[in-house]
Structure 1
Amino acid sequence: MLRLIRKHISIGGGIGPSWLRISARQALQVCKLSTSAEPTQQSNVNEASLYVHWPYCARRCTYCNFNKYIRRKEDTERMTACLTRELKTLIELSGVSKIKTVFFGGGTPSLAPPSSIQTILDTLKAGDLLIPAAEVSLEANPTHLETSRLRGFRDAGVNRLSIGVQTLCDTDLKTLGRDHTVAESLRCVEEAKQLFPGQVSVDVMFGRPSQKLKDWQTEIKQIADLCVNHVSLYQLTLERGTRLHKLVEQGMISTPDGDTLADMYLAALEVLESYGLQRYEVSNFAQMGYESQHNQAYWQCKQYIGIGPGANGRFSRETDSSVREARIQTLEPDNWMFEVEKYGHATRKVTQLSTKDRLEEFLCQGLRTREGITHKAGLVVIESTP
């Protein structure tokens, strides 16, 4: 269990350095001493969050190893039909009657036509599943094409936007393989603030090749000056198999050392908090009341259903609500669609989570947050597992 704590307590869920990982002794002390926060309540078996994976991208970023596929002539109608069918199947399997948050991720979901997003949300509404105050988030790249679709996404039912700005340096955008410019990012953020007032988040990355601390201090202030309500701050991780990892391995480019990374993180923490963006999780900052409800559901180990190629889920079946299952969907889009059309869903792997499994997740997720974990909350996990 303690090995898992070391593995997972890092910036951005695996996107982070060893200097931020807590020791085993520290973890045990947190378990014993953190008693002031309210315990996480057992997730209602009739409630869940929904993650929707749109797998297509216009290009592959040099650092990315996510489950994504470069657009050719994807059949968006078929993909949308399969997403709605898998949604119906897993909703029926889980017995969930209320969806509290929805997150469209990818891939690049902002490349999906707004009509596809609306079809999925309409499916939830038709079954009286989506609660009136549901948070509906969508990840967007700030290209001109995707910015032009923002109004359509809002009209489809999206009420929160997460924009992949990543950096305000055009040279670094090219190094990262991004297909937008700084000017496009700024236009997208301004448009989003008009369409989604108070519900705009930006993703920004530090630890980029050849990045200097002084430049980062200037850049993070520029990010804060965008006047958004939420910032997700990620340290660049060199993932094996990516182009960027290969370039670093070959000595063609270099990235900041560990001490510089630590200084960059602390500099960002100081700047963002001075702008009223409080750190509520290792890599997430928000003004009070504007935290991501969907991500909090993950960190609080609540139920969520994942649909789409490679999506993950954690929920109990209606026939046995005492057992939480971890589910992984088929990765490759064409194979995933074939299985959904044949079986109604494309679940590739199902693992029943034991009490130990759930406690490990509880520790690894909870210790990422400002509230931390409590003994009482741990008992809730134990008592809800046979």
Structure 2
Amino acid sequence: MLKTCLTAVRGPAVCVGRCFSREVSGAVSTLAGFSSPPFSTEASLYVHWPYCLKRCSYCNFNKYIPGSDKQDVMLECLQRETETSLKLSQVSRITSVFFGGGTPSLARPSTIAAVLETVARHAGLSEEAEVTLEVNPTPVGSSKLEDFLHAGVNRFSIGVQSLRDDGLKVLGRDHNSQHALQTVAEARRLCPGRVSVDVMFGRPGQSVASWELELDELLSVCDDHVSLYQLTLERGTQLFRQVQKGQLSVPSDDITAVMYESARRILQKRGYLQYEVSNFARNGAISQHNMSYWKASQYLGVGPGAHGRFVPHGEGGVCREARTQTLEPDVWVREVQQRGHGTRRRIPLTHLGLLEEVLVMGLRLVDGITHQHWQLFNPRADLHQILSSSSEVQDLQQTGLLILDDRGLRCSWQGLALLDSMLPTLLLLLEAYTQGLQEQQARGATIGDQRDGGQRVSKPG
């Protein structure tokens, strides 16, 4: 169960709600007054740079090896789609920006600056807004950090993944441990307290002892934020095929569970507080951008394959939509040039779909979901009313995995690692609650029809 919980949150390609059963329906909620989230003029922005110099052996993210120089056309189209998204959402303030990929540190710093200028021109972007850039820790990536800082970036997320050169080779990374250490040191010099490091466990040939030693070494040089991810074997990747053929072996689920628990203890001992399933911070250095996902806030997605969740007020919309941009960069470019955006799919979120996202994403947080936060999205019934009478929820509470009290709903220390095993139960209870409201509403409508003699009576003009 741990493997899915520790899926990397790389931009807003977030699998929630119906991913645990069936896909969210495209129909708009029929529950009166509950078809849209609380009104907000704010949103965060995710910008996807789809290109890499090479594909890592484990990676199935939306990334491509460019056959020619794409810098100019990407600059043009990222600016245009950003402008379109801001006008469509009518947000007046962007709270954070995250440049992910792919390898966004391959983009020119002037491209990053131009996107930020577009945001500032069409919506507010304060000087304090968190602006994160994912960085591949190669000599080329490290040499451009200062230029990115001048372009407006104020936080770096560095894909170290491992400090073992043999491990990096297996993963197909194009950096070595010395490159990683040098990049982290340079980033810390430029942005002290605002550097995050990604590290991966469950790699081929890794033991609990070697993992603990490696993590301890990393923590002696890294900054105030660490993201911890378990290697996931994805179909279609080179690493998946190597393991299937018996050329490599990965630790068992029981071993990776021990690795996760030992990492949590080591990080805590070194002063890093866990605030989400995969994320740890000290000195208050939490990722403000990712918090917007976990708090089910609005976010705009720009670039090939980016995801977004926002209300399209510019089209007269009142419901939040789940939007996905066209995956393939060349096709996305043509669409943006023709119509200003490359939106491939848009699904109006039902009331149930929205609550599922609040539940699934919120429970990733150590603090969980407060009653006040839940009320923003569902003022009709609180979490106690929906969940507390369930025998399954009572069992989860008695076994010490789930906490439902006056603060709200959250996982215990042990429960956070087992979140995926609890979500199907909680989602079914949520679905039963919304179905009950719909049936209650339908019965009320039927009674109204009967009082009107079987038909609606129009009042005279």
User: Above 0.5 in TM-score?
Assistant: yes
**Partner SS for 1:201:** strand
Of 70, 79, 97, the match for 1:75: 70
Q: Which amino acid aligns with 1:260?
A: I
Q: Which amino acid aligns with 1:254?
A: S
Gap regions ≥5 residues in structure 2: 11-36, 381-433, 439-461
Q: CA deviation at 1:125?
A: 2.0
Aligned partner of 2:357 in structure 1 is 361
* Residue 117 (structure 1) aligned with residue 117 (structure 2): no
Aligned partner of 2:219 in structure 1 is 224
2:170 and 2:138 map into 1 onto residues whose CA distance is: 17
| Conserved 8 A contact 1:8-1:14 | no
Aligned partner of 2:145 in structure 1 is 150
> RMSD of aligned C-alpha atoms?
2.0
Aligned residues: 355
Aligned partner of 1:381 in structure 2 is 377
Q: Which amino acid aligns with 1:276?
A: G
Aligned partner of 2:345 in structure 1 is 349
| Conserved 8 A contact 1:193-1:228 | yes
1:9 and 1:381 map into 2 onto residues whose CA distance is: 26
Structure possessing the higher relative contact order (Cα contacts under 8 Å, 6 or more residues apart) = 1
| Conserved 8 A contact 1:12-1:282 | no
* Residue 334 (structure 1) aligned with residue 330 (structure 2): yes
**Partner SS for 1:126:** helix
Q: Which amino acid aligns with 1:52?
A: V
* Residue 324 (structure 1) aligned with residue 320 (structure 2): yes
Aligned partner of 1:60 in structure 2 is 55
* Residue 187 (structure 1) aligned with residue 182 (structure 2): yes
Mapping 1:163-182, distance limit 5 Å: 163-182=158-177
Mapping 1:184-223, distance limit 5 Å: 184-223=179-218
Q: Which amino acid aligns with 1:357?
A: G
Q: CA deviation at 1:223?
A: 1.3
Q: CA deviation at 1:379?
A: 2.8
**Partner SS for 2:221:** coil
The sequence identity of aligned pairs, in percent, is 50
Aligned partner of 2:243 in structure 1 is 248
Structure (1 or 2) with the larger CA radius of gyration: 2
Distance change in 2, residues 1:13/1:174 (3 Å):
closer
Cα shift readout 1:178-236 (whole Å, capped 9, x = no counterpart): 00000000000000001111100000000000101110010010111114100000000
| Conserved 8 A contact 2:83-2:122 | no
2:163 and 2:109 map into 1 onto residues whose CA distance is: 27
Q: CA deviation at 1:14?
A: 8.5
**Partner SS for 2:153:** coil
Q: Which amino acid aligns with 2:69?
A: E
Q: CA deviation at 1:13?
A: 5.1
Distance change in 2, residues 1:128/1:364 (3 Å):
closer
**Partner SS for 1:290:** coil
Q: CA deviation at 1:9?
A: 6.4
Aligned partner of 1:135 in structure 2 is 130
2:89 and 2:52 map into 1 onto residues whose CA distance is: 30
Q: TM-score, normalised by structure 1?
A: 0.88
**Partner SS for 1:59:** coil
Q: CA deviation at 1:44?
A: 4.9
Q: Which amino acid aligns with 1:145?
A: V
Mapping 1:32-71, distance limit 5 Å: 44-71=39-66
Distance change in 2, residues 1:8/1:328 (3 Å):
farther
Aligned partner of 2:24 in structure 1 is none
1:72 and 1:221 map into 2 onto residues whose CA distance is: 40
1:360 and 1:125 map into 2 onto residues whose CA distance is: 33
| Conserved 8 A contact 2:184-2:222 | no
Q: Which amino acid aligns with 1:280?
A: Y
Higher share of residues assigned strand:
1
2:297 and 2:9 map into 1 onto residues whose CA distance is: 20
Aligned partner of 1:26 in structure 2 is none
